[in-house]
Amino acid sequence: MPIAQAPVRDIRFVINDLLNMEQHMAGLDHAMPLDAETMSEIVEQSARFLYETCAPLNRNADEQGCRYENGQVTTPDGFKALYQAYCENGWCSLDADEEFGGQGLPYLAHVVIGELNSYFSPAWSNYPGLTHGVREMLDHFGTDDLKSRYMPQLVSGQWAGTMCLTEPHCGTDLGMLTTSATPADDGSYSVTGTKIFITSGEHDLTDNIVHMVLARADGAVEGVKGISLFLVPKRLSDENSELGDSNHVSCASIEHKMGLNGSVTCVMNFDGATGWLVGTLHDGLKAMFTMMNSARLNTGIQGMAASQAAYDGALVYARERLQSRSISGAKYPDKAADPILVHADVRRMLLTQRVIAEGCRAMAYLTAMHIENAKFASDAGRRERSQLVGEFLTPIAKAFMTETAMETTDYGIQIFGGHGYIREHGMEQWHRDAKIFTLYEGTTGIQALDLVGRKMMHNQRGTLGPLGEDIQAWIEANPNARYTEALNSHIELWTTLSSEIAGRAAKAPDDLGAASVDFLMLSGYVVLAWLWARMDDVASRGEGDHGAVFYSAKQKSARFYFEKILPRCDSLAATIRTGSGALMAFEDEEF
């Protein structure tokens, strides 16, 4: 099937018209000033580059996969040349500090590139994506010596990076990890252990790979409080970053997966490898979660990009595929049959894909702005508030965007009918690739418990916090907007449910777990309702340069969202309120 162009116009609409990037930038004290015109040029140039160089590799990457032989991994044909061109063109260093060779642009620029990478090839997107996370963690927690030795190469893309958490006997429960770190006389540590599910753990794109490894230093207490973080390179280097010997880091095998086959997933062995402490001893999770929060947003964006790609591919097919006549009479009497686009159910599926993809894009970029504000806003109050909003939005963005991607990519197959089940049409690959997004960087269930247990119950004492306040403030400031009344009723429902869950938690703790995923999904639908109300309001004024057809379609999309998607909240609220009785009544032997 033909490769679709990236949704550049909608990206520009969200960044500039909806979220006002220039106003956002004015409150930051770290990034190079960037106007809307320049940001639009970055979006257009990166989309063009990836359309020409990355998109043609996506199908072959799935079919060829990564190859493992004698500890070495070969990425799919074309990835190495793409990686070199990507780095040479500066796409890997957009938001990096100029001190280390970066361009000093806002984090939002990196987020947009992340979406485009995933839109054209989600497997490819993991290689530069993981390196960005390592760079971010090292920048915040590394010593000056480690930064000088590793940051320039990570920024330029000369070296790549990974995060190494999971072990064979423990997944999410990191308190069970056994990888050890023994201190040496020179201040380094000897790291020994096995890590699994390591994305980009070994590959042929760079000469060195910098692993961020969670391990337990000698004498540390059991549980998560005894975990430290270590930088462990694949190859050692001198003070001038010249590469030397292997560092006793090896890839034992790679996984054979359902999808995302062009992204290598490794079993990694550390056999007395030399590593250096990052951050404070026994406080490794704090540093790791600096990377994890961005990684979780990036994973959500992968889901959003899959939704967009599935919509774009299905729309082309729905325009071209002739099948039957419209039940209200022939729409194209000069053709043998009408395009399937005329049928109401096909439109239902297409529009569901569309409003989810476009709504999730707005949520992703909003979350990115809060993450950036929390770190770099010049006003302390703004930093504190954005910290709370960003933390609350991150698990919603990660889980909601990836769960809805399973629905939208399934619709992509369904719109193609039997052809969607055939590999050459590309729809089934999006569905297979998208499944991992609901799993890695913390499953949907983990995100839901994080939202309800840590973010809502602990941090915000059973309330929606500043995010709820922001939505309520918009409602009060826009009483005549088309969807204010509907949005207001749903923010009231959301607020009431958060209070009810908090009230039951102490007496019936299992109710918290039983409600968590439904509450997260309801949260996502309400946040999207807010953003669709705002997009409708902006589009109704038509003050940008996107054209009358674009603004009309945006308003009709908002109507579809409020009439056909938002009512899902009613059923979610009903299941939340039933508690955990039906789940916990079963004895173990009754399963």
Token pair, residue 287, equals 């540093």
Q: Provide the residue type at 266 as one letter.
A: C
**Alpha-carbon distance 403 to 231, whole Å?**
33
**Alpha-carbon distance 65 to 260, whole Å?**
8
What percentage of the chain's residues is helix, strand, coil (to nearest 5)? Answer: 60, 15, 25
Residues in the chain: 591
Characterize the bridge pairing of strands 180-183 and 209-217. parallel
441: annotated active-site residue? yes
Angstrom CA distances, 504 to 500, 501, 512, 569, stand at 6, 5, 8, 20
Longest dimension (CA), the chain: 84
**Alpha-carbon distance 562 to 159, whole Å?**
47
Q: Provide the residue type at 276 as one letter.
A: W
**Alpha-carbon distance 349 to 274, whole Å?**
53
**Alpha-carbon distance 399 to 261, whole Å?**
22
Token pair, residue 530, equals 């807010």
**Alpha-carbon distance 415 to 320, whole Å?**
12
**Alpha-carbon distance 468 to 167, whole Å?**
38
Question: Nearest 5°: CA angle at 540, between 538 and 541?
Answer: 70
**Alpha-carbon distance 456 to 313, whole Å?**
38
Q: 450 near 271, Cβ under 8 Å?
A: no
Token pair, residue 72, equals 């070495």
**Alpha-carbon distance 391 to 489, whole Å?**
24
Characterize the bridge pairing of strands 265-278 and 67-69. unpaired
Q: Which listed residue (441, 485, 589, 590) is catalytic?
A: 441
Q: 528 near 363, Cβ under 8 Å?
A: yes
DSSP 246: E
| Catalytic center residues | 441
